[in-house]
Amino acid sequence: MFLRKRAFCKIALMATTMLLVSYPATFRVDKGSPVVATYTRRPPQQQEDHGEAPMAALDEMEEREGDVEEREGDVEEREGDEEREGDVEENWKARRELMESICRELNVTEDIIYTVYQRHYHFFGYNTTVCLVPKVGSSTWRDHIRRVNGGPPANVSVEEDKRRQTFLQSELTQVVAKTVSSSSLIISVRHPLTRLVSAFRNKYDDGRPMRDYNGKHEEEKLKVMFTPRWNEKFHQFWIPAMITNGIFPLDISAKIGLNFTFEPEKLYDPSVYLRIFNLKRPVISFVQFLRHVIATHKNQIPDNHWKTYTSTCSPCTFPYKYVVKMETFQQDMDNVFKTLNIPSKATLARNRIKAGKYKDVNDFKYYTNVPLQIKREIYDIFKMDFEMFGYELPPGFLKGPFV
């Protein structure tokens, strides 16, 4: 058994090194941003140039953990229909084979460096790596990682774990090879449409006016939890969405009395955003949010919270053995923890557990009055996510007149 495992590790290491050498990569260096690399995997019969998808931009703000402002928890507990229908191992196998089959069929562009350095997190001592996808239980996964790894504390980003930083100091090929050859790989997913609804509720206050600035409350919260500051959230989410929808004044500097030109791409002190807040009292509707999602993908700068799974976790490069779904989140995590002997309990969740098989149906209602053209563009963006992980559109989603 030991010899077979060593042989497998050597083969995986060689295969990964060959993978990184053989697939074309494009690098770009932006001031203040990490290096970006895009690897394109194509079936042998499709080597002709079809035009590669542009690289995902990494200059957006990094996903923060523990965003307690979300009105409804991301973690959903369902009745576990899939778990009752068959053996647990067969269920993992079916999900894995579907993911692999889509990878074989389609041209896939993946950002390996982004996945490795921004989205992969490790249960040290348990040879387990999980790809954290924003709005797919990522805060809960981070809490489990903290408990199992023994830190860092809740008010410090898990990115600052010294073991993780040391692990990532090696060359990319070594990091990838070690991850592939010695790790059980996990990816978490959820229905793309409900993920968008969760992002809207969380980042745009579910269509309500943006909350006012409370510096004292914010500082107290930051003492116990690592979370975005008010001005960071305004900068990362609200202003870009306002610009997309044409509700951000072009002469904003004059309107709020600044003695300099306001530049949306820069992060300012809360006092600057508070002036804008008092002027506009921003409100973003769900339709406006979807327009913004579409615009960011067209401009090749989607935020982490609505990137596709392919651009986030590189599932056609990394051989994920376990596909954890939000629709069966606790059952899946419980099975994974037991299988891999990870000492954590699936019931320990960051956000409030909300049970009920009608939860997705309620989320789908957000799309009732969304123009058909917008729904079609959203589906086009996330089509591979639907196919790769076995999700279906609600009945009649793509029917009706153009608006």
Q: 184-194, pLDDT tens digit by residue? A: 999 999 999 99
Do 138 and 85 share a structural domain? yes
| DSSP at 262 | -
Region of 205 please: left (phi>0), alpha (psi -120 to 50) or beta: left
* Domain region containing 223: 209-282
Please give the average per-residue pLDDT across 286-296, as a whole number: 98
- Domain boundary residue among 229, 252, 282? 282
Give the Cα separation of 47 and 344 in Å (integer).
45
- Domain boundary residue among 282, 312, 342? 282
Residue 203 in domain: no
Residue 290 in domain: no
- DSSP of 276-316: HHHHH-----HHHHHHHHHHHHHTT---GGG--HHHHH-TT
- Hey, what amino acid is at 291? R
Residue 81 in domain: yes
Mean pLDDT of the chain: 81
Do 249 and 113 share a structural domain? no
Residue 154 in domain: yes
Do 318 and 258 share a structural domain? no
Give the Cα separation of 315 and 329 in Å (integer).
19
Q: What is the pLDDT of residue 181?
A: 87
Residue 288 in domain: no
Give the Cα separation of 97 and 89 in Å (integer).
12
Residue 72 in domain: yes
Give the Cα separation of 168 and 162 in Å (integer).
10
Interval 106-162: pLDDT, tens: 888 899 999 999 999 999 999 999 999 999 999 999 999 999 999 999 999 999 999
Strand-pair partners of 36: 28
Do 222 and 121 share a structural domain? no
Give the Cα separation of 78 and 139 in Å (integer).
19
Give the Cα separation of 273 and 373 in Å (integer).
33
Please give the average per-residue pLDDT across 331-360, as a whole number: 79
Q: What is the pLDDT of residue 351?
A: 60
Residue 161 in domain: yes
| pLDDT > 60? residue 76 | no
Does residue 59 or residue 184 have the better pLDDT?
Answer: 184
Residue 237 in domain: yes
Strand-pair partners of 323: 187
Q: What is the pLDDT of residue 176?
A: 94
Using CA atoms in the order 355, 308, 31, 268, what is the torsion angle rounded to 10 degrees? -40
In the chain, the percentage of residues whose pLDDT exceeds 90 is 69
pLDDT band at 84 (very low <50, low <70, confident <90, very high): low
pLDDT band at 319 (very low <50, low <70, confident <90, very high): very high
Do 248 and 108 share a structural domain? no
Do 68 and 37 share a structural domain? yes
CA 183 to chain CA centroid, Å, is 21
Q: Are 324 and 333 in contact (CB under 8 A)?
A: yes
Q: How many domains does the chain have?
A: 2
Q: What is the pLDDT of residue 311?
A: 94
This prediction's pTM: 0.81
Do 48 and 122 share a structural domain? yes
Do 244 and 142 share a structural domain? no
Do 214 and 151 share a structural domain? no
Least confident segment among 72-81, 204-213, 250-259: 72-81
Do 238 and 97 share a structural domain? no
Do 214 and 192 share a structural domain? no
Do 333 and 240 share a structural domain? no
- Domain boundary residue among 231, 252, 282? 282
